[in-house]
Chain A
Amino acid sequence: MIVYTVRRLLTAVATVIGAVTLLFLIIRLIPGDPAVVMLGPRASPSMIASMRERMMLDESVHVQLLAFLGNVLRGDLGRDVLNELPVLGMVLDVLPFTIVLAFGSIVLAVLIGVPLGTLAAAYRNSWLDRVTAFVSVAFITVPPFVAGLLLLLLFAVELRWLPVSGGGVRGDVLNQARHLILPMLALALTWVGYIARLIRSSVLEEITKDHVRTATSKGLSPGRVLFKHVLRGALIPTIAVLGVGFGNLLGGAVLIEIIFNRPGLGFLIFNAIESRNYPVVQGGLVVAVFLYTLANVIADVSYGFVDPRIREA
């Protein structure tokens, strides 16, 4: 297991470096001179030159990349070129909002999706199964930003039960929780559908296995068989999906954060792209890539814990 974990971590490091390098190069493909865009029409050539120097834009791309990676390894994500704020501080300031949103969404998706899928499997081919299938597919096909707008219109604008925008008042947990509900729900819906479908098919596959038949023949109650023997096996593929899912949720969170005007990593990166604030874009992306990879590593390792075949492979 240790060897497996170490191997997985090394792969993760290579993934982070590769992804960051790729993103670094893609950012350079955004049309327009960042110095000109940032400084606007009043900028004189000397100001533009000075800004280009500060942003290292006159250096070749590989020099910029090496300097950037070196700084990242030292834990320095650079400084906002407009106000000199450390990027790491800016990212850490908004990161909890994104993590709470993504994590809350995945928990919510599991809490709704697993029972839904299990019920559908337990009552296979019944009207309940068909309704569940319809709801699941509907959830999967509605993009989070559409779900977000619909939820916002219904619960915030029409019914006025929940706030429209923002992340809530700092230090007021209840207020922050109210601001979290709609974005979390919008982001979770797709995964409710995925998880429900996945659990249903896993459960149906699991109940045909020998150890489940044995448990049933031993006289265990159907509920005990389901929770102790069927679900345990059925959850394995779900765990793997959740790792990837967490990463996707981070991506989906960008749009959700913009729609709900909610602070977070995606919102920070989006704003920085708008103003070509390279250090903030790069710093934000490094953290996003790191989180995505970390989520996958955790999923893989936990998958290995649950299924011995994985770690022995």
Chain B
Amino acid sequence: MIERHHSSRRPSWRPRALFVLALAALLGSATVLAASDETLSVRARNGADINTMDPAFYQGNEEYNVDMVLYSKLARFAPNSTELVLDAAESLELSDDGTVVEFRLREGIQFHHGYGEMTSEDVKFSFERIADPDNDSPYASEWSALVEVETIDRYSGRIILDDVYAPLLSSSIPFTTGSIVSKAAFEDRGEQFATQPVGSGPYYWASWEPNQRLVLERFDDYYGEAPHFKTIEVLPILDPLIAEFSFDVGEIDATEVSLESVDRYLQDDTVVVNVLDTLRYHWLSFNTQAAPFDDVRVREAVRYAVDVDEVLTGAYNDVPNRANTMLAPDILGHWADAPAYQPDLERARELLAEAGYPDGFSTTLITDDVPVHQQSVAIIQQQLRRIGIDASIRIVQSMFETIGQGGAEGMHYASFSAVLDPGYWFEWFSCDQIGAWNYWQWCNEEYDELKDRAARTAEPEERAAYYVRMQQLIDEDVAAIWTTNGASIYVHRAGELDPAFVAMYAQYMYWTGPVD
């Protein structure tokens, strides 16, 4: 059995109209949990350990997962969804012009470790600290439109923006940049805050032994529903195979597993396999400013020669879904009607001949040291031979470091990670990224204009339309051949766990124990 958890329906707020999220209705419906004394033991995603729990400087996914149970936000994601429910705020209101968010905190929210009650000062401190350019947070762009957080009284405040910032309610507030830290604890603990964090979420930071285990304990003074598990133990197991062995013998309750192991678990009736769409796109790109790929007919010929389904079978074990466009299906602006191109070698040869390459040509196919990318290029190399393109494979350690600045001739296969808000996905295809991340050197003025317009549009439908058009521009110009958004595979024992995820991130606070 495969449970497919897709990342969400569209955010439910109604911009431009005044909106208030009602506390009781939304929080009450989030989930029903029965607290227990059990310990949930999970493998850290990707095997990585925590580096820092300062929300301004997170390094990876496991920090995001822990963040979601450690810190409160004004609003957070509902279980298995990117729909928003109120969290620390009892009301959250966006102004008509989309530049002011007024919030009121619940009274009596306590920070962990006796750091007192949360106030609007803590919200101001948390958001402005990330936005402050002097602090060099890699996430400062999430608050790039922030002018200030104005405190009205002990519990109320206003988030004032200099312009509409569309990702505010889909990313900045409910995800890690919206984490509210204790100002008093931060000032008290200084540098140690990164490894001794203080939040107000359902679990507090009990102990951390680097590279060994992180223990999170249920916070008895938490203002919301008590989560099911008393303790969460996060183990950074580096090797996926060892994590799978640990799961097999019952040392851990849930783990992410490799693509290669999916079949084994699918045959085991006692195991539930969750295939989650990842926030990523895998694709084949071309240097669009150098021959022969500066001719769109050559790029189109390649598109007709590449059999994406064959790549997914050979390299990805047929686990992730095929992607026909950049945005994953549940992300706002996904182009649902994007064409699924099928191989047509005759047409491919015709296009090559029209472009002046009737006998094909030799080129380079560059990828990085990610095994699934390498397997993909090996298959694509064979497919291209069918139309006379002889591509020699070149493996580099990092696409960005090796070819980013100078661009590179030939073709490239890679995958880029993204976030819950669609804006970030499109960032790297803009003209100003040439010389940095846009190593395929594709530049389209209409695309850039739409990107800027979308970032200043709060209305989801209008914004989605811009993003669909941008994906169409990429498709028309054959700037990319998409293969998949990838998959993150979690396993757990049937009847022992009921996990929840938002996109590919674990929402441990909603995980429950033995189920009927």
User: A residues near B, CB below 8 A?
Assistant: 31-33, 36-44, 46-47, 50, 80, 82-85, 90, 93-94, 152-153, 156-157, 160, 163-167, 170, 258-261, 263, 267-268, 270-271, 275
Contact = CB atoms under 8 A, between A and B. Distances in A.
Given A82-B57, A170-B212, 15 more contacts: A38-B59, A41-B437, A44-B140, A46-B136, A93-B209, A153-B245, A156-B245, A160-B249, A163-B249, A259-B239, A261-B235, A261-B246, A263-B212, A271-B49, A275-B59
A31 B57 contact: no
B397 interface: yes
23 contacts: A32-B401, A36-B401, A40-B138, A41-B417, A42-B138, A50-B136, A80-B51, A82-B57, A82-B194, A85-B210, A93-B209, A153-B245, A156-B249, A157-B245, A157-B249, A164-B245, A165-B246, A166-B212, A260-B242, A261-B237, A261-B238, A261-B239, A263-B209
A83 B239 contact: no
A85 B193 CA distance: 11
A151 to B, nearest CB: 12
A85 B195 contact: yes
B191 interface: yes
Contact of A166 (B139, B141, B235): B235
A44 B136 CA distance: 8
Interface residues of B, number: 40
Contacts of B235: 165-166, 261
Contacts of B209: 93, 170, 263
B239 to A, nearest CB: 7
Interface of B: 49, 51-52, 54, 57, 59, 133, 136, 138-141, 191-192, 194-195, 209-213, 235-239, 242-243, 245-246, 248-249, 251, 397-398, 400-401, 416-417, 437
Given A36-B400, A94-B211, A166-B235, A47 B194 contact: no
Max chain A Cβ within 10 angstroms of own Cβ: one of B140, B210, B246: B210
Nearest to A39: B138
A31 B401 contact: yes
A82 B59 contact: yes
Given A258-B239, A261-B239, A165 B245 contact: yes
Q: Is the interface of A mostly helix, strand, loop or mixed?
A: loop
Nearest to A43: B138
B239 A41 contact: no
A160 B251 CA distance: 11
A258 B191 contact: no
A98 to B, nearest CB: 12
Contacts of A157: 245, 248-249
A84 B138 CA distance: 17
Contacts of B237: 165, 261
Contacts of B49: 271
